[in-house]
Amino acid sequence: MVERKRIEIPEGVKVKESVGEEAGFPFDISPMYEGERIRKGDMYVELGGPTAPGFELVMALPMDQVEDMKVTLIGPDLEEMNEGEAYPYAMIYYIAGSQVETDLEPVIERRNHDFQNYIEGYMHLNQRYDIWIRIGKNAVKKGLNSLIQIAKATMMLYKNELPFIEKIEAVYITDKDFVEKFLNEVAMPIYEERDRRVEMLHDEDVGEFYSCTLCQSFAPTNVCIVSPDRPSLCGAITWFDGRAAAKVDPEGPNRAVPKGDLIDPIGGEYSGVNEFAKRESGGEYERIKLHSFFEYPHTSCGCFEVIGFYMPEVDGIGWVHRGYAEPAPNGLTFSTMAGQTGGGKQVAGFLGVGIAYFRSKKFIQADGGWYRTVWMPKELKERVAKYIPDDVRDKIATEEDARTLDELKEFLKKVDHPVVKGVVRPVDGKKITNGWVEEVAEEVAEEVAAEAAPAQPVAQQAVMQPVMQPMMMPGFQFPALQMPAPSAAPAGIKLIIKDAKITIDKVIIRKAEKEKKGGS
Amino acid sequence: MTVIAVAGKGGTGKTLVSALLVNFISEKSSSVLAVDADPDSNLPEALGVEVKKTLGEIREIFQVSRDEMGSMNKEQWLEGKIYAEAVCECPRYDLLVMGRPEGEGCYCFANSLLRGVLRRLMRHYDYIIIDTEAGLEHFSRKTIDSADYIIIVTDMSRKGLATAKRIKELAEELRLNFKKIFLIANRITSEDAEMAIRKFAEEEGLELLAVLPYDSSVAEVDLRGDPVSEIDKNSEVYRKMKEVANLILNLTVEAR
């Protein structure tokens, strides 16, 4: 971790200092000023922005290293600036408190934007190294003459609004060389570290996930759960976005979902998520596993960027994104599959995800993750290539390798894809599929029309059920299929069919070839 | 904040009306936002200004760059882009162009953020003049919350009137909480036509604000895409629209 310490101001540099609370301010402070835009013609000076460097940074320090309510200003103050010009600007805050942790720095730093926009005649835009401030002529006319007033007002708001901040100190800089020096030497390494942490932050590291119900107008039973390892299906919302939104509007579309007890660490099942899902789906779903494809998968809204589909013929999973218009090897296009899966349903065999989920270390880990993935369009594969493990990357087919199931089978056999001999899921080393049965046997099996046997192959066929939907009666409600993972003990199949009217011309049920499958 | 929405069938002259209103109102108020909410029209051209980016373009950039934003705050990112690149600072007013509608994919989150940013931005203007298409899409999507005054522009065509009627119904359905709904008749060439329009307005409960004559010099400015500032100051269209602007200014002063 990058070390947090006070910046070093070389001796002899002229600084302006002030300690203690201000008795009053020459400006109003209120949330009603949020969003106020200061036009170029009305602006006294611009700080940071498109033409001058700038940054804002919050650092958590030990109690004894922070001098409460102290401001140090390096460089020219407002009254020494020329009207209409742009100046470099850095705002560094040291904070301390028994509950203040390094992890909270970004959350606290973001509030600088909110608080400073409460100040009348002061516009704050952007974040980190992009900050852009404008101070209005009117504010100066009303008596604003020092950035120390701004710093004191901001610190006061911090302490009022976030009482766990016991001590706060500010260093503001308007000297170009110092702004650039501390941006490069102090701030950038911290920002980079934070972004690295995003990729390193996992479900087990946090206490709560966030929901998203923005889509419920289209998909009333959809319950999007956004966790560090699982961004939203639409690809827009990460755990950080959920947290930010829930802070602003705790009763809004993104609410905190306490994790509760961990029920299944591999599938990603939590009691808190289940309770929330049950409540928010109107009792439709009782269990949701965040990182499972087959067993209690996440619901699919309709907004998802990518749909995953199980192909029993190769015992593997394919993925197709919205932009790919051709049919996938299973003969279906994105929109056909999306039409059957969307609307907030939990459909075993199909799963909507966001492209960012391919970056997740827990990407459908219960069902083998990348080692179960057999096909994706080239465009999608290239976008996520660096997240695919080296030993399987070349074994995943694209439309250039295979457009039909037969071509896909050939390809997978040729490259010896894990599904051919059986997938071992990396998360716990368990062998979860048996690999392909002898082709001859399968062909024979297809000829046999035998009595119903609730075992593997049938179960896998049932997974494909949604494909039949377009041929069915209008108003047909797709049955909520609840499938055991194909590797589970042969416990059979549970079919819940609600409000269904099914017309079938012909049913072919084939016999399960248990011995052959297990023995090969 | 007073929101004035100008709507009507394409080609009836609503962009001309919007641009003239922006022109006149910004002479009296220094806090005016003009919004082009009709992808088929061109308010910037009628105002004689250029915009850097439309809101739609920024939303597209957001959609493709969001995966790379790490732990940055997306709402702040969008707000910064909109303030810097989509809100155009014209000499007397600001201008925001909504741009083309969404592409494929899900815009729920982007639009939810946009709504918040626009709401906070718009409340700081005294006057917001919105040139909107007949479907009032941005209102139905709640990208724009409400309208205080709705001005429907029609010509004397049957279709123009039918659209006017539909806009009124839609505005009521959407619960825009408007205070008044007006009609402006444009390019009226005969007394018969004027009579018909008056009757229509009465029947539909629309207050007829102005009847603008057909003026070939105005039509030429409109056709060439020249700014409305080039319209002859002595023309009837110019004078009558100035009266309309004054009427609206008076109404809002009274309301305050």
Give A376's contacts (C-beta < 8 A, 6+ positions apart): A318, A319, A320, A321, A396, A398
- Judged by CB atoms closer than 8 Å, whether chains meet at B104 and A240 is answered as no
Same domain, A152 and A238: no
Contact B102, B55 (CB under 8 A): no
pLDDT recorded at residue A487? 43
pLDDT recorded at residue A469? 41
Nearest Cα to Cα of residue B33 among B111, B124, B105: B124
Is B190 inside a domain boundary? yes
- What confidence tier does B69 reach under pLDDT thresholds 50, 70, 90? confident
Is B133 inside a domain boundary? yes
As a whole number of angstroms, the distance between CA A230 and CA A206 comes to 13
- What confidence tier does A520 reach under pLDDT thresholds 50, 70, 90? very low
Instruction: Report phi then psi at A422, rounded to 5.
Output: 120, 135
Of A41, A106, A125, the CB nearest to B83: A125
CA-to-CA dists, residue A312 to A61, A433, A504, angstroms:
56, 12, 22
Q: How far does Cα A517 stand from its chain's mean position?
A: 39
- Judged by CB atoms closer than 8 Å, whether chains meet at B106 and A323 is answered as no
Question: What is the residue range of B185's domain?
Answer: 2-53+93-100+126-255
Which DSSP symbol is given to A75?
Answer: S
Q: How far does Cα A228 stand from its chain's mean position?
A: 6
pLDDT recorded at residue A299? 87
pLDDT recorded at residue A500? 67
pLDDT recorded at residue A497? 64
Contact A127, A57 (CB under 8 A): no
Lowest model confidence (mean pLDDT) among A8-22, A347-361, A489-503, B47-61:
A489-503
Is A136 inside a domain boundary? yes
- How do beta strands A269-270 and A262-264 pair? antiparallel
- What confidence tier does B255 reach under pLDDT thresholds 50, 70, 90? confident
Looking at every residue in chain A, the average pLDDT score rounds to: 86
Give the pLDDT confidence of A164-188 residue by residue, as tens digits: 999 999 999 999 999 999 999 999 9
Same domain, A321 and A412: yes
Number of domains in chain A: 3
- What confidence tier does A121 reach under pLDDT thresholds 50, 70, 90? very high
Is A499 inside a domain boundary? no
Is B35 inside a domain boundary? yes
Same domain, A237 and A115: no
Contact B99, B55 (CB under 8 A): yes
Is B87 inside a domain boundary? no
Which DSSP string do the residues of A456-520 spell out, in sequence order? Answer: HHHHHHHHTGGGGGGGS-TTPPPPEEE---TTS-----EEE--S-----S--------HHHHHH-
Tell me the nearest-neighbour CA distance from A215 into chain B, angstroms: 7
As a whole number of angstroms, the distance between CA B95 and CA B47 comes to 10
pLDDT recorded at residue B210? 96
pLDDT recorded at residue A513? 59
Q: Is pLDDT of B245 > 50?
A: yes
pLDDT recorded at residue A471? 40
Q: How many CB atoms lie within 10 A of CB A30?
A: 10
Number of domains in chain B: 1
Tell me the nearest-neighbour CA distance from B102 into chain A, angstroms: 13
Taking residues A236-241, what's their average pLDDT? 88
Interface of B with A (CB under 8 A): 63, 66-67, 70-77, 79-80, 83-84, 87, 89, 94, 104-106, 108-110, 112, 117, 119-124
As a whole number of angstroms, the distance between CA A17 and CA A146 comes to 11
- What confidence tier does A485 reach under pLDDT thresholds 50, 70, 90? very low
Nearest Cα to Cα of residue A177 among A93, A75, A94: A75
Question: Residue A93 maps to which CATH number?
Answer: 3.30.1650.10
Is B109 inside a domain boundary? no
Place of tokens 């409305």: B228
Q: Among residues of chain A, what percentage have pLDDT more than 70?
A: 86
Among left, alpha and beta (phi > 0; psi -120 to 50; other), residue B238 is alpha
Among left, alpha and beta (phi > 0; psi -120 to 50; other), residue A492 is left
Give the pLDDT confidence of B182-232 residue by residue, as tens digits: 999 999 999 999 999 999 999 999 999 999 999 999 988 888 888 998 999
3-state secondary structure A206-251: CCEEEEECHHHHCCCCCCEEEECCECCCCCCCCHHHHHHHHHHCCC
Is B59 inside a domain boundary? no
Same domain, A322 and A183: no
Contact A380, A321 (CB under 8 A): yes
A125 versus A221: the higher-pLDDT residue is A125
Q: What's the complex ipTM? A: 0.85
pLDDT recorded at residue B19? 96
A26 versus A323: the higher-pLDDT residue is A26
Sheet-wide strand order for A256-258 = A224-226, A208-212, A256-258
Same domain, A94 and A232: no
Nearest Cα to Cα of residue A346 among A306, A287, A303, A291: A287
Question: What is the residue range of A311's domain?
Answer: 306-421
- What confidence tier does A439 reach under pLDDT thresholds 50, 70, 90? low
Point out which residues pair with B256 in neighbouring strands: none
Give the pLDDT confidence of A194-210 residue by residue, as tens digits: 888 877 899 999 999 99
pLDDT recorded at residue A514? 55
Which DSSP string do the residues of A37-52 spell out, in sequence order? Answer: ---GGGEEEEEETTSS
User: Using a CB-CB distance cutoff of 8 angstroms, which residues of chain B are in contact with residue A46?
Assistant: none
As a whole number of angstroms, the distance between CA A189 and CA A198 comes to 15
User: Using a CB-CB distance cutoff of 8 angstroms, which residues of chain B are in contact with residue A214?
Assistant: 108-109, 112
**A171, containing H or E segment:** strand A167-173
Looking at every residue in chain B, the average pLDDT score rounds to: 91
Q: Among residues of chain B, what percentage have pLDDT more than 70?
A: 100
Question: Residue A252 maps to which CATH number?
Answer: 3.40.970.20
Is A519 inside a domain boundary? no
Is A363 inside a domain boundary? yes
Which DSSP symbol is given to B100?
Answer: S
Q: What is the CA radius of gyration of chain B?
A: 18
Question: Residue B131 maps to which CATH number?
Answer: 3.40.50.300
Taking residues B69-91, what's their average pLDDT? 90
Domain boundary among A369, A395, A421: A421
- Judged by CB atoms closer than 8 Å, whether chains meet at A110 and B73 is answered as yes
Q: Is pLDDT of A494 > 70?
A: no
Is A148 inside a domain boundary? yes
Give the pLDDT confidence of A451-465 residue by residue, as tens digits: 444 444 444 444 444
- Judged by CB atoms closer than 8 Å, whether chains meet at A244 and B75 is answered as yes
